[in-house]
Amino acid sequence: MSVEGDRMNFISRLKNIVSGMLERQLYTGVYESEIATFRSKFGPQFKSYQELLAETSFVFTNSNPYLDYPRPMIHKTVPIGGIKVHREDKTDVLSEEWNTILNKRNTTVLVSFGTVLKSVLMPQHYRKSILTVFESMPDTTFIWKYEDEGSNIASHLKNVHLRTWLPQNALLADRRLTVFVTHGGLGSTTEIAHSGKPYSQNAERLSEMLLSKPVSPKELVIKHCEFAARFGRLPNLDPYSRHLSFVEYFLIDILLAVIGTLAVVTLLLGILIRKCLSVSLKRKKD
């Protein structure tokens, strides 16, 4: 969850805990509104999100162990990040139109902010700033995912190509594409990593690792779904820790017991040493 990585100082860890608690509250509200929709259709007996999550056979997450920070996970959690990216994307044949665009200049930049952050909805001064940057680099071709098919905002720039849709995976896999400007979403980040952009050495190594995984995300989904369909719920994969209280889960009771024991032992030793010293001093006086 931390934006500062997995190596944090005290302040970073404090920020991480606070942001994690706030995000949990935010998403809990989202989940509860979804469950309320289901309950309005299927009745009040429809289970809560926490119950559904606990009783499900497997949980598929949009994550990848080669891109995430190392962390412990229970066996019912199956990471399938990059399921829509395949090795075949590197050999996809682009249309003549895209080949022409990619061959125009030595440097080509793809600009896309995903499906949620639409460029067409940007404030006007944002779009103007982006176009100013494009205009300042006439030797670079810019492909901009812009969701207005009839827009002419870049008609005065010969190096800019606006498209409402583009074959993003195939473009990223093409060596003629130099840079990908993105909002940093998880989907785009995964696609970049699989395609080896924009840093050649480290990115190429990571790309080969992702594409050469022993089991692909698609196979993980299929095999785990078939397994769940055959065996149903898998209580042997449910961690009992979800039934523990806060004190038990974080071993606070054990820590308090150990600290209390050490305190008592230390106190008794102090009393014993004090008595021994008192007896010794009394004998010397006598």
Distance of CA 139 to the CA centre of its chain: 35
Task: Please report which helix (H) or strand (E) contains residue 78, including its range.
Answer: strand 77-79
**What is the domain partition of the chain in residue ranges?**
1-55, 87-211
| pLDDT at position 208 | 74
Q: Which residues of the chain have pLDDT under 50?
A: none
Please report, in angstroms and rounded to a whole number, the separation of the first and last CA atoms in the chain: 70
Phi, psi of 151 (to 5 degrees): -70, 145
| pLDDT at position 2 | 59
CATH pick for 87-211 out of 3.30.530.20, 3.20.20.140, 3.60.15.10, 3.40.50.2000: 3.40.50.2000
| pLDDT at position 69 | 81
pTM (2 d.p.):
0.62
Task: Please report which helix (H) or strand (E) contains residue 16, including its range.
Answer: helix 10-42
- Distance in angstroms (rounded) separating the CA atoms of residues 210 and 212: 6
Helices (H), ranges, 44-181: 49-55, 96-103, 124-135, 168-173
- Distance in angstroms (rounded) separating the CA atoms of residues 180 and 114: 12
Name the amino acid, one letter, at 260.
Answer: G
